[in-house]
């Protein structure tokens, strides 16, 4: 007998499980299919919770605490004894955080009456879904609606094939049992910088090889320049224009060959992380007669509301165009669920926050200065440093700055960019302002609490018009 449901979601990552929950809240019968087995047991939460966002942030937090303790708190009047690293305990804490969150999602699905099927799903013609369980016989599910949310996987490159635990992807980089003496990272993107930071704090000599000549080309140039300077000072040897041409593993080490403007080079590492991007997981997801189209890059083709080429079928998250971010997938999943339930829903793709969880954190939303000028705006900008902020100084965490980009003709905010303490949280002030079409003056007229890190936001807004109080600026009318 064919099992039926109003909605079948293929994929239990952030986008998939949030779509399932929202659909259930709206009264739909929902089945969520997830095939992931993490450390020997079925697990919801996708890449983000199991081997991505959450475990990496757990290690970033633990490694930052270790680094700070080892560096000492003498300037705070705090003396500590010898600081020792228990890497096994640090990894166990990371796993505990993952288990707590993934277990919580399972309870949320159960509490909302959602059926979790453990195995793989394939979309067939007529919105039928072929379900292959981890154990048992294949079943056919009939759905009124289907959401494809199978996520993404690390890109592998021929010149650096994965080898045991020597040449690894981002997943393997979370499981090193010994701190490598020399660590190579291919790719100076978000993942490469975060994982490189983790192991550098724990004692590795880290060399980052980036093929392009520009550091963080997606970020505002002022932010990218400051980020590179700070991370270099922290010990990350970032080599731009370094194109890897080959790798050779021998005696538990890997020799990496690369070329740059100065010719051919090679480096020997104990471990090598390949972090050159991610690609959508479509293998086994669609039958040849499903009717769902892929674009030229292998993503599922969708419209602005995530509708695929078959009526009643949606695709979300890393499977479709746009940035590969968990929060993007979440909002797309909720939007899709509301549309199929007959509600009006939309998502503002122009205002998706990006965050790099190094220390200091880096975050931005809206237009960079370079993009705004390229699109013909008469741009004005304002920038203010955490270096003179009372709360940042009191916390001994005062690197970086806040920058605003605005339209000089209308005074409307166009973008906000932050490098500094709690940047990933502070950036949401810019998101709200941009979403509501705020002007620079709107922020200037607000009263920010003192002493707080957020005062830097206020001062940066004032700086757009040369009015920052705690900085000497050229007088303007």
- Cα–Cα dist 231/174, whole Å: 20
How far is residue 29's CA from residue 142's CA, in Å, rounded to a whole number? 12
- Can you tell me the distance from the alpha carbon of 90 to that of 26, in angstroms, rounded to the nearest whole number? 41
Which residues fall within 8 angstroms of residue 204, CB to CB, at 6 or more apart? 179, 180, 181, 182, 183
List the strands of the sheet with 167-168, edge to edge.
167-168, 271-274, 182-186, 205-210, 236-240
Q: How far apart are CA 181 and CA 271, in angstroms?
A: 8
* Residue whose entry in the numeric block shows the structure tokens 């949606």: 314
For this structure, is 450 an active site residue?
yes
| Sheet of strand 401-407, all strands in order from the earlier edge strand to the far edge | 354-356, 361-366, 413-420, 401-407, 379-385
Non-local CB neighbours of 313 within 8 Å, separated by 6+ positions: 123, 127, 145, 146, 147, 148, 291, 292, 307
d(C-alpha 121, C-alpha 3), whole Å:
14
Q: 417: phi > 0 → left, psi -120 to 50 → alpha, else beta; which? A: beta
**Alpha carbon distance 87, 176 (integer Å):** 9
Q: Is 354 in contact with 216 (CB distance < 8 Å)?
A: no
Half-sphere exposure of 384 (CA within 13 A, CB side): 26
- Rounded to whole angstroms, what are the CA distances from 21 to 17, 29, 120, 152? 6, 10, 20, 21
Asked whether the beta carbons of 248 and 255 are under 8 A apart, the reply is: yes
Residue 129 pairs with which residues in a beta bridge?
123, 141
Q: Which of 67, 265, 343, 450 is catalytic?
A: 450
CB 426 within 8 A of CB 453: yes
Closest CA to 341 of 25, 110, 113: 25
Tell me how far apart the terminal alpha carbons of the chain are, to the nearest angstrom. Answer: 77
Dig out the tokens for 276 from the structure: 């050159």
- Residues with a known catalytic role: 450
């Amino acid at each position: 007998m064919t099992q039926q449901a109003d909605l079948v979601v293929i994929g239990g990552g952030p986008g998939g499980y949030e779509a399932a929950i929202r659909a259930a809240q709206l009264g739909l019968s929902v089945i969520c299919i997830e095939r992931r087995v993490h450390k020997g047991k079925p697990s919801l939460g996708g890449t983000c919770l199991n081997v991505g966002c959450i475990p990496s942030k757990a290690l970033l937090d633990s490694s930052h605490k270790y680094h700070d303790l080892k560096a000492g708190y003498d300037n705070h009047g705090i003396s500590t004894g010898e600081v020792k690293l228990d890497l096994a305990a640090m990894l166990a804490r990371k796993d505990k955080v993952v288990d707590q969150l993934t277990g919580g999602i399972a309870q949320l699905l159960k509490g909302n009456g959602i059926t979790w099927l453990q195995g793989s799903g394939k979309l067939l013609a007529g919105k039928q879904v072929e379900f292959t369980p981890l154990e048992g016989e294949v079943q056919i599910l009939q759905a009124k609606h289907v959401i494809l949310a199978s996520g993404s996987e690390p890109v592998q490159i021929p010149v650096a094939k994965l080898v045991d635990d020597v040449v690894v992807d981002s997943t393997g980089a979370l499981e090193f049992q010994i701190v490598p003496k020399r660590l190579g990272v291919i790719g100076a993107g978000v993942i490469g910088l975060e994982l490189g930071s983790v192991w550098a704090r724990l004692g590795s000599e880290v060399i980052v090889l980036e093929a392009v000549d520009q550091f963080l080309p997606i970020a505002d140039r002022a932010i990218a320049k400051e980020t590179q300077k700070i991370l270099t000072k922290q010990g990350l040897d970032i080599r731009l224009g370094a194109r890897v041409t080959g790798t050779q593993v021998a005696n538990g080490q890997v020799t990496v060959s690369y070329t740059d403007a100065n010719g051919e080079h090679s480096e020997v590492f104990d471990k090598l992380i390949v972090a050159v991007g991610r690609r959508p997981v479509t293998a086994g997801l669609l039958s040849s007669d499903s009717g769902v189209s892929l674009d030229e890059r292998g993503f599922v083709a969708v419209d602005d509301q995530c509708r695929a080429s078959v009526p009643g079928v949606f695709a979300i998250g890393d499977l479709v165009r746009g940035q590969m971010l968990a929060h993007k997938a979440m909002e797309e999943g909720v939007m899709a669920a509301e549309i199929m339930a007959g509600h009006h829903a939309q998502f503002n793709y122009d205002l998706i926050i990006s965050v790099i969880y190094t220390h200091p954190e880096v975050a931005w939303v809206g237009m960079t200065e370079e993009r705004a000028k390229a699109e013909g705006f008469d741009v004005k900008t304002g920038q203010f440093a955490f270096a003179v902020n009372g709360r940042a100084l009191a916390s001994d965490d005062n690197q970086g700055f806040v920058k605003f980009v605005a339209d000089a003709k209308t005074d409307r905010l166009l973008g906000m960019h932050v490098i500094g303490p709690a940047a990933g949280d502070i950036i949401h002030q810019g998101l709200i302002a941009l979403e509501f079409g705020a002007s620079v003056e709107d922020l200037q007229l607000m009263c920010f609490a003192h002493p707080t890190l957020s005062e830097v936001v206020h001062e940066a807004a004032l700086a757009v018009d040369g009015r920052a109080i705690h900085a000497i600026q050229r007088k303007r009318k």
